[in-house]
Chain A
Amino acid sequence: MFSAFKKRGAFLALLFSFALVAAACAEDEPAATSTAAPATTAAAPTTAAPTTAAPTTAAPTTLPPPAPGREVAACQVSDTGGIDDASFNASAWAGAQRAEAELEGVSIAFLESTDAADYRPNIDAFIAEGCDVILTIGFLLANDTAAAAADNPNQLFAIVDQSPGPFPPWADADGNMLSDYANLRGLTFQTDEAAFLAGYMAAGASETGVVGTFGGLPIPPVTIFMDGFVRGVDYYNTVKDASVVALGYDVESGEGQFTNNFDSLDDGRSFAETLVNNGADIVLPVAGPVGLGSAALCQDTGACLIVGVDADWNATAAEFSDVILTSILKNIDISIFNTINNVLVLESLGNPFNGTLANGGVGLAALQDNADRVSSELAQEVADLNDAIVAAGSLAEFLASMADA
């Protein structure tokens, strides 16, 4: 019975090795340079200059020139969304690419993770390659990054979207992240500030009086968007005495619609369709590339507009710009560029980075194709709201001061 198998063993071995090589190429090839970079992700949001991100760093505003001949290898490990996700990982990679282009002596590389089991092996592969700083993109890599940072105290790390994890020293009493990991820099973002503005704008721009949102996973960096968005709608209702409904997330319980993945674009279409069926005409998908499926629905049916997340979708998903109202910018690229710059010039990570409206780490993208949906009064109110939140110091303080008034 197995003689046939033996005879054809070579053929089979060939097939197996082909499959494995192909899989390895796609998942684990570390040697990517900017030439292999996706063209669609090259356009970094240009809304904020890198210097605006400086206030929260230890770096002096005018950095000394780096030691001549100093080289830095910055290595990025993406989560399962993939580096070409047009949002989260792409934005980080754009920051790394800008660092390579603008800073002398910086080389960059990335590894994609196809599932959670890849995180630590990818990190270890970069440690073995001698990377100067390893950039892990996303909350989902937090545990593996922390463990790797603890195991390799001389290796520098930076992680996007870290919030206190299961390790006691990850946040001190004042809420300063990662203070006990001298070799690990947290890059966090107060995205709810920008999402608040987007929620206010969406509430004003909605024609049906219903807006909606859904998320990828119920994790803090996702729900912070939904939370801010729904609060923005509520604030609009309070100010305008209106009754715009925000579907898909409940601020009190933290429950809502979640696709439970960051891969399935078909989920993005279906979830958006459910929101549209229930009256929504503006949808905020907080699920990386899954949101492109929602944009496809809007383009296909003309029934809705999309609020993009992470990057300016008018640039990263330009084919959908006719259905994009605005985007909630989370300028991961700035934090990544800033980190690489610190490592190059200061030879250290600098202080934790916390992106806010005030320092340009988060913001609202410029209106483009659907600017006519936002009246000049509404645009002015959003701009004033932006100034008020910056003046108050944070969204929580702004809301508290409004509640007192």
Chain B
Amino acid sequence: MTAAATTPDAVIVRTPAEIKRSRYLGITYLFLAVVVLWFFARWSVDLGNFTFKLARPTDPSAPDLTLSAGRVTLIVGVILAAMGGVQLARGFGKMNNLVLAIGLFLFIFAFLGWATAQSSIGAFSMVGMMKTTIVRSVPITLGALAGVMSERVAVINIAIEGQLLGGAFVAVVVASPLTGGEDPTLILGSPIGGWIGVGAAVFAGMLLAWVLAVLSIRYVVDQIIVGVVITIFVTGMTSFLALRWLADNPELNKGPIFKSIGIPLLSDIPFLGPVLFDHNIFVFGSFILVAFLTFLLFRTRWGLRARAVGEHPKAADTLGVNVYRTRYLNVIIGGAVAGFGGAFFTLGSVGRFDENMTNGRGFIGLAAMIFGRWHPVGAMAAGLVFGFADAMSQTLGILQTGIPSEFLGMVPFIATILVVAGLVGKARPPAADGQPYIKQ
């Protein structure tokens, strides 16, 4: 790697920070290359082939991907090493992020190839893993979107977990009695009672968000404290009701589960069809919400005003924006999104409520919001990273790599740290985040 010394005078002048980051990335590539060549390639030589199954029996047919583990790991290792060399020597300029994404993809591909080849099964369902990635990302993405909506107007929402849990509870309690009998007519995968349940969950989320809004905007209570109290309140209340009420009335805890809808034509595409276009309404709903909220926040006058309220409420107020009304509205929209996400846990997944069933997913959503830099698309990307981490550790649990499962569970998070440090420059929250606004 002495090429740096012989580099001709650079045409583009790079700042010290960029040089530092470039060096960091280069070392990362070399490290990954060493891991792949030293650990995976060395062992893969005698392991033979691995197979990624690109279709399940019920999916549109697609051929299996069978490759030689030894060759794949060797090639990936060499590519990563070359990338490290180029990165250290001169960097990839504007291609930096793309190259990083490719590098991480290759590393994970080689890792999975090695893990599959060394297992006694020798194959796993790649289509299943990618589908799981998407499904698992949904509650996290929706929770993060709820956070984005309210923090963009400078109200910190720690209550996402509570809003998810409240939505989950209300959805099943409302939907269950309405769908007791067999109802043959399904609207987008659910009898009408299921939709009423979703509506009730959205309303519950809005109600909890309204409490957050009133206390933090009107009564200027510390927003973190309000959020924590709401979460504790909902956790306690739903546990209490589940124990003393639902347990005695099991007919109230037997909701419909929204069926998958295959989008015509698109869901027939091999591999991509089942992964992207054959899901229930919660998955499609999260895709649509990401697009819609991005448009709302960044392409409309209303969104510009909302963001101004989050950055500099006094300036916005001076220019005639109603700061309070904007904050109320956004926080409550966020609550509606979280309530919808809560309904996923019951009506979108298992059809029944059990205490604390969200299991901290709201807090992961909060992390995804920050990781996604307070942007809906970023939130979804972060949700997908967490979803992939989940799906991969499940798959590795089946493949039996011989490495402790606790360690394997960490691998995706190590990748996450690399992405955050390398890809996402400095994350900056809205300037007025968490500060109450008192009109003079």
Contact = CB atoms under 8 A, between A and B. Distances in A.
A263 B405 contact: no
Nearest to B394: A274
Contacts of A214: 397
Given A19-B233, A84-B242, A296-B349, 10 more contacts: A23-B237, A26-B355, A40-B250, A114-B235, A248-B397, A255-B404, A271-B394, A273-B128, A277-B129, A278-B125
Contacts of B201: none
Interface string B109-144: 000000000000100110111011001100100000
Contacts, number: 179
Given A82-B243, A83-B243, A1 B135 contact: no
Given A4-B220, A22-B233, A263 B398 contact: no
A265 B350 contact: yes
Interface stretch (B35-43, B96-104, B356-364): B356-364
Interface string B222-246: 0000000110110111011011101
Contacts of B344: 266
Contact of A38 (B135, B243, B397): B243
A12 B221 contact: yes
Contacts of B401: 255
A293 B352 CA distance: 8
A84 B247 contact: yes
Contact of A5 (B219, B236, B394): B219
Interface string B340-379: 0000110001111011111101000000000000000000
B288 interface: no
B390 interface: yes
14 contacts: A12-B221, A19-B230, A23-B235, A82-B355, A84-B242, A263-B357, A265-B345, A265-B352, A270-B136, A273-B128, A274-B394, A296-B350, A300-B257, A319-B250
Interface string A6-40: 00100110011011101111110000000010111
Looking at chain A's contact residues, is the secondary structure mostly helix, strand, loop, or mixed? Answer: helix
Contact of B351 (A1, A23, A296): A296
Secondary structure of the B side of the interface? helix
Contact of A269 (B127, B129, B349, B361): B349
B124 A2 contact: no
Contacts of B351: 296, 300
A189 interface: no
Interface string A69-93: 0000000000010111100000000
Interface residues of A, number: 66
Interface of B: 56, 121, 124-125, 127-129, 131-132, 135-136, 139, 211, 215, 218-221, 229-230, 232-233, 235-237, 239-240, 242-244, 246-248, 250, 254, 257, 259, 344-345, 349-352, 354-359, 361, 390-391, 394-395, 397-398, 400-402, 404-405, 436, 438
Interface in A214-251: 214, 218, 245, 247-248, 250
Contact of B350 (A22, A84, A266, A275): A266
A214 B398 CA distance: 9
A265 B233 contact: no
Interface of A: 1-2, 4-5, 8, 11-12, 15-16, 18-20, 22-27, 36, 38-41, 80, 82-85, 112, 114, 212, 214, 218, 245, 247-248, 250, 253, 255-258, 261, 263-271, 273-279, 289, 292-293, 296-297, 300, 319
Contacts of A24: 236
Contact of A22 (B237, B248, B352, B405): B237
A84 B151 CA distance: 37
Contacts of A269: 349-350
A270 B394 contact: yes
Given A218-B405, A274-B132, A292-B354, A82 B398 contact: no
Contact of B400 (A112, A218, A250, A300): A250
Given A25-B240, A26-B240, A8 B219 contact: yes
Contacts of A20: 232
Given A278-B398, A296-B351, A296-B352, A22 B243 contact: no
A255 B402 contact: yes
Contacts of B129: 274, 277
A114 B354 CA distance: 12
